């Protein structure tokens, strides 16, 4: 709920529109890092619920467990008529890749000086879709 509130607050200052998708800031960096870390924790716990002996510790292991047991997650999406957005944060799992926002998260986390601009509206909306559609 706190992250949803942060996204709603942000929308008062930056319109969630494709023309603003490359807008980046320290606040978006915080949101990307915080929300992605939460996703990591939730995915790990979800894997344990699905497979109690699961040793899934990273995104590739999460993908295998979740795709096998909960394939609908991959195609789950959010439509946001207010902003004209359709978001599918896990769609890259349909192939061999990982979500773009996850890749951006890791780049910002480990290579912030070179990847600071990846903490932008586009990447944050990919997994915060529910919050901006409320």
Q: What is the Cα 76 distance to its own chain's centre?
A: 13
Burial bucket for residue 133 (CB in 10 Å: 0-12, 13-18, 19+)? middle
Q: 80-129: per-residue pLDDT in tens? A: 777 777 788 888 999 889 998 899 999 999 999 899 999 998 888 776 65
Question: Is 0.95 topped by the overall pTM?
Answer: no
**Which residues have a Cβ under 8 Å from the Cβ of 83 and sit 6 or more positions away?**
15, 16, 17, 132, 133
Q: 45-90: per-residue pLDDT in tens? A: 999 999 999 899 999 999 999 998 999 988 888 777 777 777 888 8
Please report, for residues 13, 52, 85, 103, the alpha-carbon distance to residue 110 in angstroms, rounded to integers and kept in the order given: 28, 31, 29, 11
The H-or-E segment that residue 78 falls in is strand 78-80
């Amino acid at each position: 709920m706190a992250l949803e509130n942060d996204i709603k607050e942000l929308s008062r200052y930056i319109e969630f529109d494709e023309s603003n998708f490359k807008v980046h800031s320290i606040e978006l960096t915080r949101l990307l890092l915080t929300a992605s870390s939460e996703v990591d924790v939730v995915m790990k716990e979800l894997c344990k619920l699905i497979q109690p002996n699961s040793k899934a510790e990273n995104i590739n292991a999460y993908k295998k467990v979740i795709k096998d047991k909960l394939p609908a997650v991959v195609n789950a999406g959010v439509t946001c008529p207010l902003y004209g957005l359709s978001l599918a944060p896990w769609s890259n799992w349909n192939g061999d890749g990982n979500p773009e926002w996850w890749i951006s998260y890791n780049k910002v986390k480990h290579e912030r000086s070179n990847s600071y601009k990846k903490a932008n509206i586009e990447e944050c909306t990919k997994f915060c879709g529910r919050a901006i559609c409320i």
